[in-house]
Structure 1
Amino acid sequence: MEIERTYESLPFYWERETLKNDRRWLESIVRNAAPFSDWWTKARIVQLAYIQPPNVPSQTIYGLPTYGAYQQEQAIAEALRSTCDLNEYREFAKQVNEDYVIRTLNSWHNKQFTQAISRNFEVFVNREYSNIFLLVSTAPTSLNVDRKLPSMDKYRPLFNIAEMGIILRSQNFKRITLRTHGYSTPAEDFYKAFDGEAEALCLKGPINSIGTLEDQSAYIGYNWPGEQPFVAPGLWRDARYNGEIFLKFLLTMALLAWLAGTVLYFLSALAIVPLLQILGLDPILDPIWAWFNFSKIGSLIVQWQIVAFVVFVLWLLLMQILRLVVYQRDRYRAIHYGAPDLGEFFWRLDKVLGENPYISMPFDPNTQPNIPVYRSLKVNLIGHSMGALVLVNVLRILSDKFGKDERIEEEKTQMGEYLILNKLILSGPDIPLELLREGRNNYVRSAIQRCQEIYLFSSDRDIVLRYLSLVGNWFSEPSLEMSGLRLGNVYLNPVNSPENSREYRPYIRVLLNSLPAVEPTSAYDLFEKFNYLDCSRMIEVNTVDLKLNPWNGLIIDAINTVAHFREKIDVHSGYYRVQTPSFDLLKFLITREDFSRTETIDEINRLIANTPIRFLPSQPFMSRGTR
């Protein structure tokens, strides 16, 4: 069917008022988008339709000029199709034709191009393992820094989410597991770590007691925009590109420092010093009071300006250090980029699992592929550190869309028409312990209730959560308790039960002493839904094999801090090192879906039998704690 053009003819000519911004926009898309993906292709189509901009050097992209001044839509389609292997990029080959080019140019001419490319994620498939995918948010870490894409040698970008739906359906996938990273994880570091995990999960060999990722199980790594503290390019380029904003910040800080210093001076001169004189402390105050002699006001002003400058410098250093550690920057991106982009992915994935996988795309083909329709697809979610905050917010978004607690029990785990939420696995989650508290409208309650099973990997010796997260959240959390007590620091403490037997109960250390993580109430269901795996004394996250008590807690933290900075251990992210018992547990949980609940508990107990990991199952199996 021929598509009607809304523009007069090709080539396109630049308008003087919009040339600069339009050219930069298109070039930014091409730099930051995955080659041969839907939005990359659309940007290239528009570029090839335009004449070469004046005073811009000519360049080539995959053998084609950046700006081609093509006069026929068919010629643009044929030129783009000649730049890649059409047998490898099958959806690209299927969709990129003359009609596709006309639709794209219509959207540009009608000022609807943003809607035509408005998907906030990209999907890549591993070239060696067809059940390994990378999902990447299209949000950059900074407006002035380009995105880091996965290696094209290892991963092939999919044309769009519809292609992923076709792969899942054609290979009859039964479940997917999505794993995301936490704070201070730049894209290149996550890709490298994820490749190691994927290799360990897919490695085929003798059948072992833990299992490998089955062909019908997909493992997806989700990268939301995070950056490295102190050395991230965006930290320094922002000041260069926004000089006036930076100067405004300096001016505001200087004014606040001067006001604070003035208040401090008058309080000292008019209140504190006279009060001490009344108390008979004149000899001690003589040198100090001489400094506050108003007859020497000229020298005092000079001295005060020095003091005010020192205050200004100290405040400026504090504010800049808080910015350079990128904690609040990552937290903002996790909540406002990472979670919404992942929510959109699941919404579109649910759509493409229906009768027509192209239904969520702006341009719906008239033909539908001859592939089976899904009944359901199980979803496991693994979140580490701040990535747990991303997952909790995604579940909250999806819960708001698909219904809350009022849904019948059989429908509570639904994430749409075809997606069923199975396991939620949180490791060192950087979210408040408030998650477990009852007696109020818990802000993630409806999200947590959707999961069939929840597993918590935690460590009370995670110094990143114990100390750095406290400082990072000091200004943002509603209460000190929420900023200082994080779910990832929960540990299992042996206690005497009413029947005089030893049981594990969740505790959390404040500084020296510990307190129960939750107090029993009549509404205890969130606490009881968790399966607790205390990895405090596990190798790779701890180097001090001492039982915790009020006297040695700070010593343990100090020793582990030194070992962490020497890279002997990773107190915060060691759960995912493939040689650890925790990774064996993760591997088991996402590869053995055919186990009953009792068999799962028994297998977990077997896997941790010779390790220091402690285990407290969820309520149906909480008759005793195990080790």
Structure 2
Amino acid sequence: MGTERSYQTLPFYWHRDTLENDRRWLESIVRNTAPFSDAWTKARIVQLGYPYPPNTKPGTVEGLPTYGGYTSEAEIASVLRSSCNLLEYPGFETQVNEDYVIRTLNSWHNREFTQAISRNFEVYADRYHSNIFLVVSTAPSSLNVDRQLPSRDRFRPLFNIAELGQMMRLANFNRITLRTHGYATPPERFYPAFVNEAESLSLKGPINQVGTLEEKSVYIGYRWPGERPILSPGLWTDPFRYWGISLKFLVGLALAAFGGGSVLYFVLGLLIAPLLTIWGIKPIVDSLWQWITWDALAGLISQWLWVAFSVFLLWLFLFQLLRIVVYQRDRYRAIHYGAPDLAEFFWRLDKALGDNPYASMPFLPGEQPPLSPLPTLKVNLIGHSMGCLLVVNVLRILSDRFGKEDRLVQQGNDMGEYLRLDRLILSAPDIPLEFLREGRNNYVRSAILRCREIYLFSSDRDLVLRYLSVLGNWFSEPSVAMSGLRLGNVYLKTVKTHDDQEEYRPFIRIMVNSQAAVEPTSAYDLFEKFNYFDCSQMSKINGVKWKLNAGTALPIDLVNALLYFANKIDVHGAYYWVDTPSFEIIQFLITRYELSRSDTLATIYQLIENTPIRFRPSQPFSKPNV
């Protein structure tokens, strides 16, 4: 034992002022973190160092009492190790010992426990495939709703990021592909979908132009705290839990509605009602121009209050509707929880791949045998919908770390010492179209230009982006155009060039009419860096084979909406259905990375042959004879 105590003795004793908060905090950590992971183990150590709090029912966690009141660190380490299958959890087996217990209790005693457990993500290894992993943000969807963890039958929690670094060293991986989800994706939807994708990518079969995930290539699913619309528990329990805040909201809304309702009533009474009376139409409210008696005044006041109350009810319904569709809630979590947590994962992973895999940990677990560092790993990033917004914000965070555009030539696509950006794949990105254009709004330009290749999968028939996004972003984006024009709605239109040749150019539909997605400028490099896949007429995304024009635009949207709600198609998320051409293309892009640029494009043209997918490569390239 080489670590000295900063506390005097065990067991610890509860302080009356902090007992309830400390108990709830520790129990919340244990419920919401992966068993036998670093943070979970530290919380259990502290619990086992305390006796049961007063008036607390005895319970168990993984076969041990919730609280132990043990008198020695060696005893705590021994009972924890006895509750764990050490062969199944090698990180736990090598690190949890008496010194580890003392360091943990020191951090608690010195009020440094938050730092000791402050990794904002967890890593899980697939039990059936050695190159499949899950990274999960530890942020909950709501402060008072427990997280839903991946199934332990399928995924084994790793002890910490250092264990992942060691696994990658031993397997000598050379490529990482990380895929994240989009808006309104709760864990019960994401985990099975990711398993289905991983199984399809790992399926070994005859060699073809698509390929399968090789053993040296890692596929990682990233889960950030998306939420199920309408049915998520936090949507309905939070207002009652914090009734004081809810009451303040209702009072503020009532005052605003009274003011707005009063303005509406006087407009109706002074302008609308007299005009309707002149036209022989009896108005709902009385005209304010008539001679007012005391009896009439009472009726006018009653009408005034009813109008204000109706405005209040309407606004309350609209505010609650915006809340339960969870669009702005998911957007907030994607930017402020999901993106920073994923950026931290990449930063710590880069440290874990170095000579000391524990360099990114709050305190070192002792001397580790020296390991030779890995060669550089190439990183592919795949985002869907709001997950694309998350991914580009991760790139911006990492770009702030490894340099701005003025250092682009020197640093290239570095993400650290051992990680290099390669391909960025965006499907149905819920990002303003301004993303493609030059100017102040292009907030991730320097980071995006570091990607070797960028692929965009989009559809002009994506109703979620066309309608829900404009409603959700109407009051949050800097301009109306940014709220109404999303990158995921770009489609390819055949146009004639000045030399009378036909080519695809990106367009975007406004309502029934379309406009060019990007106007040519002298600084065109970001727009030209994209490879465009127009999946508007792909069968799983679109159920109507009509050609798009001003007369068919709205009927197409109406029919597709009915098919979408009937679960016949998915206008927003079918890109990742394993039986679609789009998934076959994505599978090809993340597995056949050894091909040259010309061979890659030739294979893409083969894959989209006999499909309605349109393709525009990032550089002029003549379609081969296939």
Is the structural similarity TM-score above 0.5?
yes
Q: Secondary structure at the match of 1:406?
A: helix
Cα contact 1:126–1:132 (8 A) shared by 2: yes
Q: Secondary structure at the match of 1:604?
A: helix
Distance 1:521 1:457, change over 3 A: same
Shifted more, 86-95 versus 19-28: the winner is 86-95
State the distance in 2 between where 1:457 and 1:401 align: 29
Cα contact 2:269–2:287 (8 A) shared by 1: no
State the distance in 1 between where 2:284 and 2:366 align: 87
Distance 1:16 1:285, change over 3 A: same
In the alignment, residue 616 of structure 2 is paired with which amino acid? L
Tell me the CA shift for residue 408 of structure 1: 4.4
Confirm whether residue 150 of structure 1 aligns to residue 142 of structure 2.
no
Shifted more, 382-391 versus 404-413: the winner is 404-413
Q: What is residue 136 of structure 1 aligned with on the other side?
A: 136
Shifted more, 248-257 versus 24-33: the winner is 248-257
Distance 1:299 1:220, change over 3 A: same
In the alignment, residue 461 of structure 1 is paired with which amino acid? R
Q: What is residue 120 of structure 1 aligned with on the other side?
A: 120
Distance 1:506 1:432, change over 3 A: same
Q: What is residue 58 of structure 1 aligned with on the other side?
A: 58
Distance 1:288 1:543, change over 3 A: closer
Which runs of structure 2 are paired with 1:244-263 in the superposition (5 Å)? 244-263=244-263
Tell me the CA shift for residue 273 of structure 1: 5.9
In the alignment, residue 258 of structure 2 is paired with which amino acid? W
Confirm whether residue 89 of structure 1 aligns to residue 89 of structure 2.
yes
Q: What is residue 594 of structure 1 aligned with on the other side?
A: 594
> Gaps spanning 5+ residues in structure 1: where?
none
In the alignment, residue 156 of structure 1 is paired with which amino acid? R
> Gaps spanning 5+ residues in structure 2: where?
none
Task: Detail structure 1 runs of 4+ shifted over 2 Å in the superposition.
Answer: 205-209, 264-274, 281-294, 365-372, 621-627
Q: Secondary structure at the match of 1:35?
A: coil
State the distance in 2 between where 1:529 and 1:31 align: 45
| TM value normalised by structure 1 | 0.97
Cα contact 1:426–1:457 (8 A) shared by 2: yes
Q: What is residue 526 of structure 1 aligned with on the other side?
A: 526
Q: What is residue 451 of structure 2 aligned with on the other side?
A: 451
Cα contact 1:615–1:625 (8 A) shared by 2: no
Tell me the CA shift for residue 240 of structure 1: 2.1
Confirm whether residue 338 of structure 1 aligns to residue 338 of structure 2.
yes
Q: What is residue 200 of structure 1 aligned with on the other side?
A: 200
In the alignment, residue 98 of structure 1 is paired with which amino acid? E
Distance 1:286 1:162, change over 3 A: closer
In the alignment, residue 209 of structure 1 is paired with which amino acid? Q
Cα contact 1:38–1:117 (8 A) shared by 2: yes
Distance 1:273 1:545, change over 3 A: closer
Q: Secondary structure at the match of 1:159?
A: coil
User: May I ask how many residue pairs the two structures share in their alignment?
Assistant: 622
Question: Could you list the per-position Cα deviations for residues 513-559 of structure 1 after superposition, in whole angstroms to 9, with x for gaps in the alignment?
Answer: 11000001100011100000000001110111122111101111111
Cα contact 1:605–1:626 (8 A) shared by 2: no
Question: Could you list the per-position Cα deviations for residues 121-168 of structure 1 after superposition, in whole angstroms to 9, with x for gaps in the alignment?
Answer: 000000010100000000000011000100000000000000001111
State the distance in 1 between where 2:372 and 2:61 align: 38
Cα contact 1:170–1:372 (8 A) shared by 2: no
Question: Could you list the per-position Cα deviations for residues 55-98 of structure 1 after superposition, in whole angstroms to 9, with x for gaps in the alignment?
Answer: 00000111110000000000000100011111111111111000
Confirm whether residue 170 of structure 1 aligns to residue 145 of structure 2.
no
Question: Could you list the per-position Cα deviations for residues 162-186 of structure 1 after superposition, in whole angstroms to 9, with x for gaps in the alignment?
Answer: 0001111110000000000000000
Q: What is residue 315 of structure 1 aligned with on the other side?
A: 315
Tell me the CA shift for residue 373 of structure 1: 0.7
Cα contact 1:169–1:373 (8 A) shared by 2: yes
Distance 1:53 1:513, change over 3 A: same
Q: What is residue 543 of structure 1 aligned with on the other side?
A: 543
Shifted more, 288-297 versus 248-257: the winner is 288-297
Tell me the CA shift for residue 303 of structure 1: 2.1
State the distance in 2 between where 1:408 and 1:133 align: 31
Distance 1:105 1:174, change over 3 A: same
Q: What is residue 37 of structure 1 aligned with on the other side?
A: 37
Cα contact 2:380–2:423 (8 A) shared by 1: yes
Cα contact 1:504–1:625 (8 A) shared by 2: no
Tell me the CA shift for residue 267 of structure 1: 3.4
Q: What is residue 609 of structure 1 aligned with on the other side?
A: 609
Tell me the CA shift for residue 243 of structure 1: 1.0
Percent sequence identity is 65
State the distance in 2 between where 1:120 and 1:112 align: 16
Cα contact 2:430–2:488 (8 A) shared by 1: yes
In the alignment, residue 319 of structure 1 is paired with which amino acid? F
State the distance in 2 between where 1:440 and 1:17 align: 51
Which runs of structure 2 are paired with 1:448-527 in the superposition (5 Å)? 448-527=448-527
